[in-house]
Structure 1
Amino acid sequence: MSHTYMPGFGNDFETESLPGALPQGQNSPQRPAYGLYAEQLSGSPFTAPRGTNERSWLYRIRPSVKHHGRFSPLNLSQWKTAPVQENHDLPLGQMRWDPMPLPVTPTDFITGMATMTTAGDCAGQSGMAAHLYVANTDMVDDHFFNADGELLVVPQQGGLRFLTEMGIIEVQPGEICVLPRGLTFRVELMDGPARGYVCENYGAKLTLPDRGPIGANCLANPRDFKTPVAWFEDSDRPCRLIVKWCGRFYDTRLEASPLDVVAWHGNYAPYKYDLSTFSPVGAILFDHPDPSIFTVLTAPSGEEGTANIDFVIFPPRWNVAENTFRPPWYHRNIMSEFMGLIRGQYDAKEKGFVPGGVSLHNMMLAHGPDAEGYQKASTVELKPQRLENTMAFMFETRFPQMLTSFAAQAPFRQDDYIDCWTDLKKRFNGTPEGDWS
C-alpha cells in the first residue's frame, strides 16, 4: 500500500508491476506493452462532473469478457438485498445481539455473510444493507464481485487479506477497507478465524464529509487513505467467479485467474484506512456536539445534510466538558442506527454491548444510556477523563432498517435488551435540586 487515496475527490493514480506496462500519453494504444489488453472500469456515468467522475484503466493479461462465462444461479440464502420485508414475529423495538458465533464447518468470507438489516432499494440505487461475516477458511479458487454496491468492511476479529484486481489490501481489526462496485477479489485469512461487519452501499459512493466551520484539519485526513500498488496473477489454474447482481447470485467457471491486471491508472480503486488516524473534535467548555462530528465517511443522498449512509466511529478520546452529561444523551431522530463494537467498552453501555455485538435503534425509537451508565455519568466527578480501549461505530442511514428473519430469529439476539432502561427512576420531586439519591 503506497498511494494516498482521497475518497470522492477525483484524484488519479498510476501503478505498474512490470516496467513499461503502463502506457504513457494515451489510454488505449493499438498494441499495449507485454501483449496486454486495455480495459476501462467505470464507477460513474461517463458524463458525471469531473469531481465525481470515476474510472480506471486496467492493463491485463485477459479482458474481463474472458472472466464472464456462462452463469448459473447460486444460492447464498443468508445474504439479502433491499427491499426486504421478511415474515417474522418480532415486533418493533430497540434491539441488541451478542457476537455471531464463529463457524465450525468450512466457511469463507462470502459463504459466511449474513444480513441483519436492509434499507432502501438496491435497484433504485439508494439505501444499504448491514451484514455480519464469520470465516474460518480462505476463498480457495473462488473470486467475487458485487454489481449492486460498494462494500465497507470493518474487521472485529482476525485480519483479512483482499487479493483484488488492482492489488492486495491487508486489514486488521481497527482498520477498514472499501471495495468498489464491480471490483473482483478473493479473501484470505491472515491469522485464524475472522469476524466482522460489512456495510453494502447501494447509493452514491462513500466520500469524506465536509468539515464546515472545523476548517482544513481533523476528522479523517485524506493522506491516511491508502490504495494498493499493482499486483497480478498469471495463473491458468481453473477457478470460479461468483457475482451478486440485483440481489441474486450467480457463478461461472473460469480457465484462469481474473486477478491479472499488470498495471492500472485512474481514480476508481479499493482503499483502506486506519481508524487510529482519525482526529476527533469535541467540546472544550460545556455540552458536546452531535455524534455526526465523528463521521469518517459519508454517502450523500442528494438532499444536503441528509446522508444515504454515514460511517461514524467513537474512538479513544478525552472528555473534558464542564457541568455536562458526557455520554450520548437520550434522543430520537430520523436516522436509523446500526451499531457495532470492535473492541473495549462503549461509554453509554458498559455491560451487555460486547465486541462483535450489534445494536439497532431504528428511526424515531428512543435510545440512550442504560440505567447504570446514567447514574454513573450523573454523579461522577467531572475531571478530564481519557476514554481508552474503545472503538465503536455506526452504519447510519436516512432509511428505516428492515430486520431480516435471520436477525429476528438469531439465537444470539438479546431478548432482554429493553430491560437495560428499567431502573431509570423518577427524579422529579418539585425542588430545583431533584432527587439524585
Structure 2
Amino acid sequence: MSLLYQSGFGNHFATEALAGALPEGQNSPQRCAYGLYAEQFTGSAFTAPRHQNFRSWLYRIRPSVKQSAYRPLADMKVATAPLAQPAADPNQMRWDPVALPESSTDFIDGLLTIAVNGDAGTQAGCGVHVYAFNKDMTNRFFYNADGELLIVPQLGTLHLRTEMGELTVANGEIALIPRGIKFQVRLGSGDDAARGYICENYGSPFELPGLGPIGANGLANPRDFLSPVAAYEDLEGEFELVAKFSGRFWVSDLDHSPLDVVAWHGNVTPYKYNLVHFNTINTVSFDHPDPSIFTVLTSASDTPGTANIDFVIFPPRWMVADNTFRPPYFHRNLMSEFMGLIHGEYDAKAEGFLPGGASLHNSMSPHGPDADTFEKASAAELKPQHQKDTLAFMFESRFIYHPTKTALEADFRQKNYVDVWSTMRSHFDPTQP
C-alpha cells in the first residue's frame, strides 16, 4: 500500500507491506504466506460485547515469544498507582516545564511521573508523566502492560516506530499507543530534543465521547484519526525490549528487531490526531460552558457519565458571550484536574503557567482565575474576541491524583502557587445592588 496512514477511529483495518501477506478467509492458516507467523493481539476479553471487542492479527517474521527471560530494570523515575506514600494533597499545585536533559537521554530514561490515581492492578485510574529526551531509541524498544499511552508533544516532533507501522507526531497533535504494543521513539527530523506529556490510562480504552444534542459532526470526528499502514524491518543483532509490568520495569534481550510485522488486520492500532481538526463548540449567548464540551477522548468508568479519564482541550476559539465573565469561573468540582499548556497563553492565568508546565487541582479543591485575570476580565469590553495563540489540555479524572515524592520535591515545582489568589479582595457593597 502506498498510503502513510489509514483514516478512521475504531474501524477494522487491513494492511500489508507485501502483496498477499494477509490470508483470505481465515486468520491462522496452516502455513502463512512468505513463511510468516500468525499472532493475535487482544486488547479486551475474548467474550467482550462485539462493539467493545478489540483484537488485531499480526503476520510477522518471528513470533514475540522469541526473546530472553525478563530481568528487572532499576532506577526509573516512573511511579504506578496506588502509592503508599506520600498521601494525596488537597493543595493547588503548579510546575514549570521540566528541563531538557544535558546528558544523552532517550525516551524511556527521560520519563518522570508527576501524579497517579486509581489502581493499575484493578485497571482503574491513570498515571501522568512528562518526558524530555535528546537521544533516539535505536536498539531499544518498549511496551507497557499497565495501560495505553496517550502522548501529547509540547516541544519537538516524535517519530513513533511501532509494530503496526510508523507515526510522525508534531506539536499540536496527539498519539495513542495501545496497551502492550511494542514501539520505539525517535526525534523528528532536525530536532535536537523533545518534551511533552503522557497519560497512562489503566482503565477502559479511550473512545470518542457521545454527542447527544450536539448532533453528528461536533468535537472530534472519526475520519480525522490516522492509523499507520504496515511497515517492517528484518534486522538481526543485539536488541533490548523494555517492559513496564505491574509498576516495575523489566528488560529482555532480542536477537532481532520486533518491528517485523509484514501485515495486520483488526481494530487495535496506534493512532494519531491533529487537534486543529477539533470542531469547537462554544456559547453564543451567555455564561461560560462547562469544559465537558471540549472533550476529545474519554475513558469510561463503571459509573455512567463519570469518566475514568477525560482528555479535554482548550483550543483557539471565538469568545462572544454577553454579560458574562468569560474566563473559567471559580469552581470546586468532583473531578480532579491535571492541566498542561502546549503553546501560547491560557486565558485564566496572567503569568506563571508556561508551555510545558502543568497544574494540579484535586477533587473539591477550589481554583479558578488568578487575581489579575479576574480584575481584567471583570472590566473588559465584551466585544467578540478570537483567542488565536492558545492550546491547553486537561486530564480530568474521577479519582484523586497522588503527586509523587519526586514531583513534590522538584526544583521546578512552584511552591508559592497558591499566592496567585492572595491579593483577591472583597468587592461587596450592600448599598450597590
Q: Per-residue CA shift, 1:252-283, capped at 9, x if unaligned? A: 11100011000000000000000010011011
CA distance in 1, matches of 2:423, 2:182: 51
Query: Is residue 101 of structure 2 the alignment partner of residue 103 of structure 1?
Result: yes
Q: What is the distance in 1 between the residues matched to 2:93 and 2:356?
A: 15
Q: Which residue of the other structure, out of 8, 16, 22, is the alignment partner of 1:5?
A: 8
Residue in 1 that maps onto 2:46: 46
Name the counterpart of 2:373: 373
C-alpha deviation, 1:308, in angstroms: 0.2
Shift of 1:431: 2.7
Cross-structure match for 2:181: 183
Q: Tell me which residue corresponds to 2:358.
A: 358
Aligned-partner residue type, residue 281 of structure 1: I
Residue 304 of structure 1 aligns with which residue? Answer: 304
- Equivalent residue number for residue 78 of structure 1: 77
What's 1:160 paired with? 158
Distance, in Å, in 1 between the alignment partners of 2:25 and 2:89 is 61
Task: Provide Cα deviations, 1:160-215, integer angstroms capped at 9, x if missing partner.
Answer: 11100000011011000000000000110112200000000000000000011101
Which one-letter code corresponds to 2:296 in the other structure?
Answer: V
For residue 256 of structure 2, give the secondary structure of its aligned residue in structure 1: coil
1:179 maps to amino acid: I
| SS in structure 1 at match of 2:175 | strand
Q: How does 1:125-140 map to 2 (within 5 A)?
A: 125-140=123-138
Report deviation, 1:91: 5.6
Q: Is the 8 A contact 2:90 2:365 kept in 1?
A: no
Deviation at 1:76, TM superposition (A): 4.0
- Residues 21 and 33, structure 1, Cα contact 8 Å, conserved in 2: yes
CA drift at 1:140: 1.9
Q: Give the match's secondary structure for 1:123.
A: helix
CA distance in 1, matches of 2:390, 2:43: 35
2:51 alignment partner, SS class: helix
SS of the equivalent of 2:65 reads: helix
1:283 is matched with 283
AA partner of residue 196 (structure 1): G
For 1:39-69, what per-residue CA distance to the aligned partner results, in whole angstroms no more than 9, with x for missing partners?
A: 1000000011110100000000001111x42
1:22 matched residue in structure 2: 22
Partner amino acid, structure 1, of 2:62: R
Q: Which residue of 1 aligns with 2:404?
A: 404
Q: Is the 8 A contact 1:75 1:249 kept in 2?
A: yes
Answer whether contact 2:288 2:327 (CA < 8 A) is retained. no
Which one is further off, 305-314 or 416-425? 416-425
Alignment of 1:63-74 (within 5 A): 63-66=63-66, 68-74=67-73
In the alignment, which residue of structure 2 is the partner of 1:252? Answer: 252
Distance 2:264 2:284 in 1: 46
TM-score, with length taken from structure 1: 0.96
Q: Which runs of 4+ in 1 moved over 3 A?
A: none
Q: CA deviation at 1:218?
A: 1.2
Q: How does 1:176-215 map to 2 (within 5 A)?
A: 176-190=174-188, 191-215=191-215
Give the structure 2 partner of residue 421 of structure 1. 421
Distance between the aligned counterparts of 1:209 and 1:87, measured in 2?
Answer: 33
* CA deviations over 1:223-265 (Å, ceiling 9, x no partner): 1000000000100121000011110111011100011000000
Displacement after TM superposition at 1:429 (Å): 1.0
Identity of aligned residues (%): 57
Partner of 2:430: 430
Secondary structure of the structure 1 residue equivalent to 2:45: coil
Q: Structure 1: 5+ residue runs without aligned partners?
A: none
Provide the rounded CA distance (Å) in 1 between the counterparts of 2:89 and 2:165: 45
Contact 1:127 1:309 in 2 (8 A): yes
For 2:157 and 2:257, the matched residues in 1 are separated by 23
Q: Could you tell me the TM-score, scaled by structure 2's length? A: 0.97
Q: For 1:339-395, what per-residue CA distance to the aligned partner results, in whole angstroms no more than 9, with x for missing partners?
A: 000000000013100100000000000000001111111110001000011000001
User: Quick check: 239-248 or 71-80, which moved more?
Assistant: 71-80
Measured in 2, the distance between the counterparts of 1:137 and 1:77 equals 17
RMSD: 1.1
